[in-house]
Amino acid sequence: MGCCASAPYDDLATVDERRAMALKAAEARNKQSEMRGIKSEAMASKVRASKAAAARTSGDAHGDRKSEQMARDWAS
Report DSSP letters for 20-53, one per residue.
HHHHHHHHHHHHHHHTTT--SHHHHHHHHHHHHH
Task: For the chain, 76 residues long, give each residue's pLDDT as a single digit of tens.
Answer: 556 666 666 666 788 888 999 999 999 998 888 777 778 888 888 888 888 888 777 655 556 777 788 888 887 6
Provide CB contacts within 8 A for 35, sequence distance 6+: 44
* Overall pTM surpassing 0.75 (yes/no): no
Distance, C-alpha 24 to centroid of its chain: 13
Dihedral angle over CA of 28, 34, 35, 38, nearest 10: 170
- Assign 48 to helix, strand or coil: helix
Name the residue ranges covered by the structural domains of the chain. Answer: 15-75
